[in-house]
Amino acid sequence: MADFQYDLVIIGSGPAGEGAAMSAVKQGWSVAVVDERMQVGGNCTHLGTIPSKALRHSVRRMVQFNTMPMFRAVGEPRWFSFPELMQAADEVIRKQVDGRTREYSRNRIRLHVGRATFTDTHEISVKKADHTHETIKGRFFLIATGSSPYHPEDVDFSHPCIFDSDSILKLNRTPRNIIIYGAGVIGCEYASIFAGLETRVELVNTRAGLLSFLDGEISDALSYHLRDLNVNVRNNEEYAKVETRNNGVTMELKSGKRIHAEALLWSNGRSGNTQGMGLETIGLESDSRGQLEVNEHYQTSVSHIYAAGDVVGWPALAGAAYDQGRFAAAHMCGTAREYHVEDVATGIYTIPEISYVGKTEAELTEQQIPYEIGRAYFKNIARAHISGEEVGVLKVLFHQETLEILGVHCFGAEAAEIVHIGQAIMNQEGKANTIEYFIRTTFNYPTMAEAYRIAAINGINRLCRESRKLVV
């Protein structure tokens, strides 16, 4: 007989698990969340999104202090070590855990600490820290276990100079130089962070360019500014072997080059956390990356077992994971509504940051959609002059004939905030989703939001007279 029984049992307390728990409990369901950690929040709070973005914010503040002339009146430039800057991140993590714990408690959601393994399709065994077990039954299950950095077998991650994107948070020094292998989102973000700490960065990219899914102009801007921060970007390179030494790590590339640094950050791929869960017992199978296949309702092939978040792959974003969990729970409860994952805005927290939603120029060209571009450069915006962060551009793509907004791309300070204005207008129905909205709307001045008006006017002026609409 089971020790506990619930309507919904969620494995993992990250964004997907939290979203599902809060959604289901509002429908009057009994809900339990199982996690290996004593503290809620999942990898997002403890290892990924929160600590890395808090660390980036601290580095950005330090760079601002060291580069703005007005601060020289209050002191000389100051440099903080990596561990010192991580202290601010630790405080953010504590606040996040406290807030989430209160929400679970207030909503009467039961937390079980331990590792969950399926024993049949309606039951899991939870192994606790003292090696005892609890048996939990559920009518429905949600697998929201997240993902972990991929570890190739020929790289010794036990060496004190080799890190992945989780273990790098425990770095106890500021290396003078570092190799970052993998120039995806995580690799580029950490390249910015370490460059801000005056660490010489070797960014090894296995592809021809940085973040090829970005609009080409934004990808080019990122490449330029990383190099401007003295990041050495090596494109089209793959490692042949990694050698550890007393004074650091040497990476030999397949091209024959050898590069040496005090530390190596491996950021080339992630795998879903599905190992050892007893999935074979219930007829589920993960792919080669440990990810689970789900349908549009986030159901696995076992209809009462759902999965959401990083464990199902793309888009692997915290905000999207929360919504995936919510909509999975809504489908279980019979209150589901359609969820368009393609409308998710993506934020990349490099320095400067990047955010986008919708189509790129390359996609629109390939689909033979006639589009025009409206741009607003931050160097021409009063708020950017005030903040001293004049590097950046807002780029709005819109249909030449209907003026419908097709894509919004932003590079610069607060890009991840700015993009949501464009996202909101893109998702309007009828004729409300055109670039005319930004011309007819009065924006607060001075604000970064004013960039939309500037970009809209710039774009309309690009249209030839025979297709130009009356917008004033």
Q: Residues forming the annotated binding site?
A: 53, 145-147, 182-189, 269, 310
Rounded Cα–Cα distance for residues 449 and 394 (Å): 10
**Are residues 242 and 155 in contact, defined by beta-carbon separation less than 8 angstroms?**
yes
Q: Which two tokens stand for residue 160?
A: 């004190």
Could you tell me how many helices (H) and strands (E) the chain has, helices first? Answer: 12, 22
**Are residues 195 and 202 in contact, defined by beta-carbon separation less than 8 angstroms?**
no
3-state secondary structure of 126: strand
Q: Which two tokens stand for residue 169?
A: 């948070």
Fill in the amino acid letter for 405. Answer: I
Local structure of residue 404 (DSSP, 8 states): B
Question: Which residue ranges make up the annotated binding site for FAD?
Answer: 53, 145-147, 310
Residue 180's region, left for phi above 0, alpha for psi from -120 to 50, else beta, is: beta
Rounded Cα–Cα distance for residues 126 and 36 (Å): 9
Rounded Cα–Cα distance for residues 122 and 5 (Å): 10
Rounded Cα–Cα distance for residues 57 and 385 (Å): 20
Beta bridge partners of 126: 116, 134
Rounded Cα–Cα distance for residues 364 and 407 (Å): 9
Nearest CA to 349 out of 82, 43, 56, 61 is that of 56
Question: Which residue ranges make up the annotated binding site for NAD(+)?
Answer: 182-189, 269
**Are residues 264 and 181 in contact, defined by beta-carbon separation less than 8 angstroms?**
yes
Beta bridge partners of 355: 347, 410
Nearest CA to 234 out of 186, 174, 177, 181 is that of 181
Q: Which two tokens stand for residue 154?
A: 């020929």
Rounded Cα–Cα distance for residues 463 and 469 (Å): 9
Nearest CA to 343 out of 423, 442, 223 is that of 423
Rounded Cα–Cα distance for residues 90 and 95 (Å): 9
